[in-house]
Amino acid sequence: MPAAASVREVTIEINGLRRTAIVEARRLLVHFLREDLGLTGTHVGCDTSQCGACTVEIDGAAVKSCTVLAVMADGALITTIEGLTGGNGELSSVQKAFHDHHALQCGFCTPGMVMSVRNLLKENPDPSEREIRHGLAGNICRCTGYHNIVRAVESLASEGGVA
Amino acid sequence: MTISNGNRHVGQPLKRREDLKLLSGKGRYVDDLKLPGMLHMAILRSPHAHAKIRSIDLSLAKAAPGVRLALSGTTLEDRIGPIVPNWIIPGSKVPVRRVIATDRVRFVGEGVALVVAESLAEAYDAISLIEVEYDVLPAVTEEQDAIRGDAPQLHENVPGNITTLYKVKGGDYEKANREADQVVKLRVVNNRLIPTCMETRAIVAAPEPDGTLTVYIGSQVPHMHRRWIAETVRIPEHQLRVVAPDIGGGFGAKMHLYPEDLICPYLARELNAPVKWWETRSESHQSTSHGRAHTEDLEIAFNNDGRILGLKVSTLGNVGAYLSNMATGGPTVNTVNFGTGTYKIENYEALSRVVVTNTVPVDAYRGYGRPEGAYIAERAIDAVARHLSLDQVEVRRRNFIQASDFPYRPYGSTGVMYDSGDYQALLDKALEAFGYDARRGECEALRANGIYRGVGVAAYTHMCGMAPSRRLAPGGFDRGGWESARVSIDSSGRATIYSGSMSQGQGHATSLAQIAADVLQIPIEDIEIVQGDTRQVQAGHGTFNSRSMAVGGSSVHVSSHRVITKAKTIAAGMLEVDEKDVSYSAGAFTVPGTDIAPLTFSKVARMAYVGHKLPDGVAPGLDETVFYDPTGMGAPSGVHMAYVEVDPETGIVDILDYVAVDDVGTLINPRLAAGQIHGGVVQGIAQALFEEVSYDSESGQLLTGSLLDYAVPRAEHVPNIRSSFQQTPSPTNPIGVKGIGESGSIAAPPCMVHAVLDALSPFGIKHLDMPLTPPRIWAAIRSVREGDAQ
C-alpha cells in the first residue's frame, strides 16, 4: 500500500566511493544500486533469491543484493562488478579467466557469477571440481551449461587463488 | 580471382570480442535503460485458468499516487489489433487473441487490466487496487483431457479444442505392420518446459521529437518485431525503430509477439512519454511462452533382426490457450516430419493434432519440434533394442541412413531432405571417446554388487535455416528465409558489417567477423559487426532455428566477396592492367608475373571514395548489400552417449560422463561451437532429469510459478560435457555450415533417458517418462520390488 512511504538516509562506500542518499525503507539494495546509483552491471534475474544474478560483495562477503534492503547496508563497504575492472579497463583475474575459458555467453548471469567465484576462491583457494560446482550452487547460468565456468575457476585454483 | 587461405580465421578458436563489456558490467540490457520522463507499466493478470470477467473497477487504481493511466481490455480492443500468428499451418482454426482480455480469461497469467505510473513501485501498488469480479469456468490443462467430448471448450471457432490436423505419410505402414515379425506400442510424454532466459522480457517504447517511435526490446527478431508492431498498433513501419541491445538469452522465447510488445508502443504514443515494462521472474513463468508439452503414441513394426519396417505416430501438441507466433508448426511440421530420425524407416505414417488448453501459450524453445521428433525416433529404436534384448548400438547401426544415401529424403518426403552426413562414423567416434565396450562390461560387473549403472545412446539429425523463401509460403509462413548483410568499407579500408542476424549470447560479433576477415583479408580488428537496430541494419529475419551462421554467415560471406570483386575492378584501373590479371592476397592486389608493386586494400578503398580514378562505368563507394536466400537447408547430426549411476534407495541419478560428437558442418569457431553444445546438452539434461511445468488439473493453477518450484539445474547437478566434432560441409551454402544451437537440447533428452533405463534394466523397467526425478525412479523401482515380494 502506498501509505506515506518511510524514507531513511544511508551512506555506503561503493567501489571506493562514498555515497549518501535518501531511500525508501522498502527499497532493495539491488534496486538502489541499479536505479539510484546507475550501477546496472548488477542484474535482477528472479524474484525469489534463486538465481544469484544480483550477487555483490558486502564487507568482503558475496551477498545476493535482492535479499538486503538498502537501509540495511548503511555504513557497509560494497563492491559490484563495476568495481573489479581497473581504471585502465584491465580485467581482474576472475574476469580474465572467464574471457580465456569462454565462461560466458549472454553475459546476464556473469556479474553475479564472477562475484560468487571471487568469494568461493577466497574461502577455498584450491577447490576441487566438486567443490567448485557446489560453491556456485547459488548462481544459475542458462547458456554455458556451467562447463566452461568450472574450467575458468579451475584455472584460477591451479594458479593459487584470486588476485 | 584467387583468394589466399594463408591467414584463415574460420576454424580458429578465437576468444570473444563481446566479452569485455559483459564482464565489466557494461552490458546494456533493456532494463538498464532509463529515459527522462519514463513511465512504468504493470499488468494485472488473471488468477483463474478459465473465467468470465463480470466487472472491472479501476477507480481506486486511477486515484492512486503517481498513476497516469489505468485501463482494461475493452479500451484497447479497437486500438490494437489482435495478435496474429506468423506461422499458420494451412487449414488451422485461429482463435482471436486480444492484448488484454475483454470478456473472458483463458489461462492463469492472462492480462486483464494495466496501470501506467511514474515509478514501478507505484504501478505495482496500483494494480493491487483493481477490483475484478470473475465467474469461474471449468478449466482443462492436459492435451488428452482437452480432446474429450465433455471437455470445456476454449474458443467458439475451435470445436473440440483442436486447431490443426496435420498428416504425414510415406510408403505403406499398414503393409509393414502386417509383414513385421513384431509390433510394439509405446506412449511417450515430452514434458512442458519453461525456457528460462536469465534476462526476462523487457520493453521500452519512446516517442521521438520527430514523431517517430523507438522501441527497445530484447528481441531475437528485431525486424520482424518492427513489422508486427507496425501492423498491429497501426504505426507506419518506416516511422518505427526497433533496437535490440544486449540480450540475456533467448532460446526461442524472445522471437514471438507478446501483448506487452504492442501495448507499450501504443501507450507511449498515447501518453507522449517513454513507457517501460519489465517482467518479473514469476510473471515470466505465466506470461512468456512455454516449450514442448506433447504426448505421442508410437507403434513400431520391426523384424527379429532389429530392422524397423514401419513407424506410426500420433501426436497431441498442447499449445496453451491461444496460438502463439509459431504454435501450429511445432507439433506438426517440426515434430512429425522428423519422427524417423537418423533411421531408414520407409513406411511412416503420422497424425498430429494441435490442442488448445487453459495454460500459458506454448511456442518455440531450443529445437522446437526437433527434440520431440528425435525423441520419437530414439525412443522407438530403443524400444526395439530393449524388446529384442539386442545391443542398443548394434540396432542403431542396422537402421542408420548410410553415408552413401545422401542427399536423403526420409520415407520419400517432399518436405524433408538431409543434405549430408555420416552417422556410422559419428557413432564410431562416440564409442571410442566414450570407451563403450569397457563401460558395458563395467555395468554388468557392478550390477552383481547392487550398483546400477547404465549407458545411454542417442543419435539425431534435423534441419536448420528454413529456406528458400519460396518454400515457406505453402507451409503457412508469413516470412521469408533469407538474411541480409551489408559490408560497408570506409575510406581507410576498414569494414562495418550490418547483419540481420541477432545474437543473444552466441557471439556473432566474433564469428561473423571471422567469416568476413577470411574474404576481405583485412585484420579482424578492422571489422565491426552491427546488429539489432532497424535504423542501422537495413533488413533481416534474426536468429532462430540455428540459422545465424548458415544463412546470416553466408550473407556476410557473399557480401564480402562482392566488395572484393568491386575493389579488384578499381585496383585494375589504378594499376592500369586487365582485371583478369589481378590477384588478391593478404590484403593487397598484385599482378603475378610482373614487377608491379602491390596495391593495398586500404588504398583501393580510398580511391573508391575520392573517386579520382575509377574505371568507366564504376560508381564510387565500396559498400555491398546482399539479401541471401539459401537454396536448401543444412542437416546437422550427432551421436551422444551418457554414463549414469542410479541409487536404487533414493532414485537419484548421478551423471558420470557425457560425450557429444556432432557434425554441424564447417566450424566457424570451435570454442564457441563447443559452448553451444555444452549449453544445449545441459538444457536437454534438464528436460530429462529435472524440469517440468506442473498445473493443477482441476483448478488450472500453475504450480511451478517461480524459480523456487521450477527445477533449473545448478552447476552441481550436471556433468562435464566432452564435446568433439566431425565436419561434413553442407552443400547448401557457400561456407558449408549446418547449424549448431539446437543440437544439444535435441540429443540429450533421449540419451539421458536411455542411460537411466539401461541402469534400471535389471528391474525390468522398460519405459519412464521425463523428467526422471528421484521420486519417479524410486517409485518405479519400489513397484517392481513390491511386485516381486508378492
Query: DSSP secondary structure string, B539-570?
Result: ----S-TT-IIIIIIHHHHHHHHHHHHHHHHH
Q: Which residue has the cell 515457406?
A: B472
Please check whether residue B205 is in contact with residue B214, taking contact to mean a CB–CB distance below 8 angstroms.
Answer: yes
The answer, yes or no, to whether residue A163 has pLDDT greater than 50, is no
Q: Per-residue confidence at B252, pLDDT binned at 50, 70, 90?
A: very high
Asked if the Cβ–Cβ distance from B25 to A100 is below 8 Å, we say: no
Residue A153's H or E segment, with its range, is helix A147-158
CB nearest to B715's CB, from A24, A38, A146: A146
Q: Per-residue confidence at B375, pLDDT binned at 50, 70, 90?
A: very high
What is the count of structural domains for chain B? 3
Neighbours of B280 (CB within 10 A): 16
Considering the domain architecture, whether residues B106 and B236 belong to the same structural domain is answered as: yes
* A-interface mutation test, from B17, B19, B640, B724, most A Cβ less than 10 A away: B19
Considering the domain architecture, whether residues B601 and B648 belong to the same structural domain is answered as: no
pLDDT value at residue B170: 98
Asked if the Cβ–Cβ distance from B23 to A108 is below 8 Å, we say: no
Considering the domain architecture, whether residues B522 and B445 belong to the same structural domain is answered as: no
**HEC profile for B36-71?**
CCCEEEEEEECCCCCEEEEEEECHHHHHCCCEEEEE
What is the arithmetic mean of pLDDT over B434-443?
Answer: 97
Cell of residue A61, nine digits: 562477503
Instruction: Read off the CATH number of the domain in which B589 is found.
Output: 3.30.365.10
Residue of A nearest to B122 (CA): A2
Could you give the CA distance from residue B331 to residue B83 in angstroms, rounded to a whole number?
20
Cα dihedral angle (B176, B182, B183, B188), rounded to 10 degrees?
-120
Cell of residue B34, nine digits: 532509463
- Reported as a single tens digit per residue, the pLDDT across B545-583 is 999 999 999 999 999 999 999 999 999 999 999 999 999
Distance from CA of B470 to the nearest CA of A (A): 33
- Reported as a single tens digit per residue, the pLDDT across B143-163 is 999 999 999 999 999 999 999
Please check whether residue A84 is in contact with residue A119, taking contact to mean a CB–CB distance below 8 angstroms.
Answer: no
Give Cβ neighbours of residue B124 (< 8 Å, ≥ 6 apart).
B42
Please check whether residue B729 is in contact with residue B666, taking contact to mean a CB–CB distance below 8 angstroms.
Answer: yes
CB nearest to B23's CB, from A104, A108, A129: A104
What is the arithmetic mean of pLDDT over B773-777?
Answer: 98
Could you give the CA distance from residue B444 to residue B453 in angstroms, rounded to a whole number?
8
Q: Is B358 within the bounds of a domain?
A: no
CB-based burial label for A119 (10 Å; 0-12, 13-18, 19+): buried
CB burial of B506-539 (b: ≥16 within 10 Å; e: otherwise) equals bbbbbbbbbbbbbbbbbebebbebebbbbeebeb
Q: Per-residue confidence at A87, pLDDT binned at 50, 70, 90?
A: confident
The answer, yes or no, to whether residue B542 has pLDDT greater than 50, is yes
Asked if the Cβ–Cβ distance from A145 to B679 is below 8 Å, we say: yes
Residue of B nearest to A92 (CA): B24
pLDDT value at residue B788: 77
Q: Is B2 within the bounds of a domain?
A: no
Partners of B275 in the beta sheet? B39, B205
The answer, yes or no, to whether residue A2 has pLDDT greater than 50, is no
Considering the domain architecture, whether residues B534 and B623 belong to the same structural domain is answered as: yes
CB nearest to A50's CB, from B19, B249, B707: B707
Considering the domain architecture, whether residues B621 and B650 belong to the same structural domain is answered as: no
CB nearest to A106's CB, from B198, B681, B712: B198
Considering the domain architecture, whether residues B90 and B227 belong to the same structural domain is answered as: yes
Could you give the CA distance from residue B292 to residue B693 in angstroms, rounded to a whole number?
10
Q: Which positions in chain A touch B714 (Cβ < 8 Å)?
A: 133, 136-140, 146
SS3 B711: coil
The answer, yes or no, to whether residue B789 has pLDDT greater than 80, is no
- Reported as a single tens digit per residue, the pLDDT across B596-644 is 999 999 999 999 999 999 999 999 999 999 999 999 999 999 999 999 9
Neighbours of B310 (CB within 10 A): 26
Type of residue at B455: V
Please check whether residue B771 is in contact with residue B388, taking contact to mean a CB–CB distance below 8 angstroms.
Answer: no
pLDDT value at residue B273: 98
DSSP output for B266-290: HHHHHHTS-EEEE--HHHHHHHS-B
Neighbours of B90 (CB within 10 A): 10
Could you give the CA distance from residue B370 to residue B378 in angstroms, rounded to a whole number?
12
pLDDT value at residue B790: 65
What is the arithmetic mean of pLDDT over B58-76?
Answer: 98
The answer to whether residue A142 neighbours chain B at the CB level (below 8 Å) is yes
Pairing of strands B452-461, B483-489: unpaired
Could you give the CA distance from residue B305 to residue A96 in angstroms, rounded to a whole number?
55
**Of the residues B236, B259, B287, the one at which a domain ends:** B287
Could you give the CA distance from residue B482 to residue B469 in angstroms, rounded to a whole number?
6
**Of the residues B587, B612, B628, the one at which a domain ends:** B628
Q: Per-residue confidence at A159, pLDDT binned at 50, 70, 90?
A: low
Considering the domain architecture, whether residues B778 and B697 belong to the same structural domain is answered as: yes
Q: Is B324 within the bounds of a domain?
A: no
**Segments forming the whole domain that contains residue B455:** 421-465+632-790
The answer, yes or no, to whether residue A18 has pLDDT greater than 70, is yes
Asked if the Cβ–Cβ distance from A39 to B25 is below 8 Å, we say: yes
Q: Is B623 within the bounds of a domain?
A: yes
The answer, yes or no, to whether residue A4 has pLDDT greater than 60, is no
Cell of residue B525, nine digits: 580488428
Asked if the Cβ–Cβ distance from A145 to B721 is below 8 Å, we say: yes
The answer, yes or no, to whether residue B4 has pLDDT greater than 70, is no
**Of the residues B287, B310, B335, the one at which a domain ends:** B287
- Return the beta strands (E) in B527-669 as ranges: 527-530, 583-585, 588-590, 599-600, 623-628, 637-646, 653-663
What is the arithmetic mean of pLDDT over B442-464?
Answer: 97
What is the arithmetic mean of pLDDT over B101-111?
Answer: 98
Q: Could you tell me the domains of chain A? A: 7-83 (3.10.20.30), 93-158 (1.10.150.120)
Residue of A nearest to B23 (CA): A95
Considering the domain architecture, whether residues B604 and B636 belong to the same structural domain is answered as: no
Please check whether residue B171 is in contact with residue B310, taking contact to mean a CB–CB distance below 8 angstroms.
Answer: yes
Q: Per-residue confidence at A86, pLDDT binned at 50, 70, 90?
A: confident
Could you give the CA distance from residue A101 to residue B74 in angstroms, rounded to a whole number?
53
Considering the domain architecture, whether residues B96 and B220 belong to the same structural domain is answered as: yes
The answer to whether residue A86 neighbours chain B at the CB level (below 8 Å) is no
What is the arithmetic mean of pLDDT over B205-211?
Answer: 97
Neighbours of B675 (CB within 10 A): 28
Asked if the Cβ–Cβ distance from B718 to A145 is below 8 Å, we say: yes
Neighbours of B776 (CB within 10 A): 17
Task: Look up residue B107 and give its DSSP letter.
Answer: S
Could you give the CA distance from residue B395 to residue B490 in angstroms, rounded to a whole number?
58
* A-interface mutation test, from B714, B724, B745, most A Cβ less than 10 A away: B714
Going A66 to A70 to A73 to A79, the CA torsion angle's sign is positive
Q: Per-residue confidence at B248, pLDDT binned at 50, 70, 90?
A: very high
Instruction: Read off the CATH number of the domain in which B114 is found.
Output: 3.90.1170.50
CB-based burial label for B205 (10 Å; 0-12, 13-18, 19+): buried
pLDDT value at residue A88: 84
Going B360 to B362 to B363 to B368, the CA torsion angle's sign is positive
CB-based burial label for A100 (10 Å; 0-12, 13-18, 19+): middle
Considering the domain architecture, whether residues B565 and B507 belong to the same structural domain is answered as: yes
Considering the domain architecture, whether residues B577 and B646 belong to the same structural domain is answered as: no
Mean pLDDT of chain B: 97
For residue A94, the Cα-to-chain-centroid distance in whole angstroms is 12
Residue of B nearest to A41 (CA): B25
CB burial of B28-66 (b: ≥16 within 10 Å; e: otherwise) equals ebbbbbeeeebbbbbbbbbbbbbbebeebebeebbebeb
**HEC profile for A57-125?**
EECCEEEECCCCEHHHHCCCEEECHHHCCCCCCCCCHHHHHHHHCCCCCCCCCHHHHHHHHHHHHHHCC
Q: Is B472 within the bounds of a domain?
A: no
The pairs formed by B232-235 with CB atoms below 8 angstroms and a separation of 24 or more are B232/B80, B232/B81, B232/B82, B232/B83, B232/B84, B232/B257, B232/B262, B233/B80, B233/B81, B233/B262, B233/B265, B233/B266, B234/B81, B235/B265, B235/B269
Could you give the CA distance from residue B221 to residue B542 in angstroms, rounded to a whole number?
4
The answer, yes or no, to whether residue A1 has pLDDT greater than 60, is no
What is the arithmetic mean of pLDDT over B293-320?
Answer: 98
Q: Is B659 within the bounds of a domain?
A: yes
Cell of residue B515, nine digits: 567469416
Considering the domain architecture, whether residues B644 and B766 belong to the same structural domain is answered as: yes
Q: Is B245 within the bounds of a domain?
A: yes
Asked if the Cβ–Cβ distance from B199 to A42 is below 8 Å, we say: no
Cell of residue B366, nine digits: 531450443
- Reported as a single tens digit per residue, the pLDDT across B654-699 is 999 999 999 999 999 999 999 999 999 999 999 999 999 999 999 9
pLDDT value at residue A5: 67
